[in-house]
Structure 1
Amino acid sequence: MSEYEYVVVFVTVPNRDVGVEIAKSLVNNKLAACVNVIDGLRSIYYWEGRVEEDNEALLIIKSRKDKLNDLVIFIRERHPYKVPEIIALPIIGGFDGYLRWIDEALRRE
């Protein structure tokens, strides 16, 4: 592994189109090396005193910890939810070739 710490970030969005737009922007701005957009989620959650239920899509974002603050700000500026789910989990290990690829993708010209 490199000197960087890697993260996977989960972000729910209201639909696939919003997810694809955010995903492309993250990759184009070198805040993410890769974003998977998974459509067809059913989310059940507590909001403003009630249990709610909605269809959503999920973004699975691969990045580095040193990009995380900028990534969160970037998503908040573009996300339609008042309080979007943006949760980062550490990557504790993985294939070195893939982790090196994350580094390369985030520092490309």
Structure 2
Amino acid sequence: MDRLGSRCPLPGYSRPSVLICFLILATSFLMYPMLRTLSLQLHSAITGSYISGTHSIVFVNCPNEQIARDIARGILDKKLAASVNILPKTSSLFFWKGEIEEATEVLLLIKTKTSKVLMLSGFIRLVHPFEIPEVFSLPMDQGDVHYLKWLEEGMEED
């Protein structure tokens, strides 16, 4: 063991194997999410199964149907989603600046990849007229394989 320690190029380290083990563990820990995602995608491609949480439904309230349509078209033009449903006339009650408010709004149901939710949220903040637009998402647990494939194709870059 002394011979190994005497050849260590770093001063103060008598055991280079400890440093190497630490670097391998740290790299493995940092790479785990990416490696897990890649392995799940490979498994999904081979077996044709769906990876839960790959897609999400994003909910956004808009003040009227015209604004909802404009936002929906912008989302689709930028390929941030494959499909947007516009559900008219929802009644909303909410706290705003310490008071209970009541409004009629239009709800967008946006189907997208979970990986695009952050970009989608940023886009909505830029174009939405509300000071704080309601934007939240729920991951899809399951779905028809053909529909989910269609979602993927709808968001492919040209």
Cα distance between partner residues in 2 of 1:76 and 1:59: 14
- How much has 1:101 moved relative to structure 2? 0.5
SS state of the match for residue 80, structure 1? coil
- Which fold has the larger relative contact order, with Cα–Cα distance below 8 Å and residues 6 or more apart in sequence? 1
Cα distance between partner residues in 2 of 1:91 and 1:4: 5
2:135 matched residue in structure 1: 86
User: In structure 1, which of residues 99, 102, 105 is the aligned counterpart of residue 151 of structure 2?
Assistant: 102
Segments of structure 1 that go 5 or more residues without pairing to the other structure are none
Q: Structure 2 matches for 1:5-84, cutoff 5 A?
A: 5-84=54-133
1:98 partner amino acid:
Y
RMSD, aligned α-carbons:
1.4
2:129 partner amino acid:
P
The structure carrying a bigger helix percent of its residues is 2
- How much has 1:4 moved relative to structure 2? 7.3
Paired residues, what number?
109
- How much has 1:108 moved relative to structure 2? 4.6
- TM-score w.r.t. structure 1 length? 0.95
The 8 Å contact of residues 52 and 141 in structure 2, kept in 1 or not, is answered as no
- TM-score w.r.t. structure 2 length? 0.66
| Superposed structure 1 runs of 4+ greater than 4 Å apart | none
- How much has 1:28 moved relative to structure 2? 1.0
1:57 partner amino acid:
V
SS state of the match for residue 41, structure 1? strand
Cα distance between partner residues in 2 of 1:16 and 1:87: 19
- Percent identical pairs in the alignment equals 36
SS state of the match for residue 107, structure 1? coil
The 8 Å contact of residues 2 and 100 in structure 1, kept in 2 or not, is answered as no
SS state of the match for residue 24, structure 1? helix
Segments of structure 2 that go 5 or more residues without pairing to the other structure are 1-49
The structure carrying a bigger strand percent of its residues is 1
Q: Which has the larger radius of gyration?
A: 2
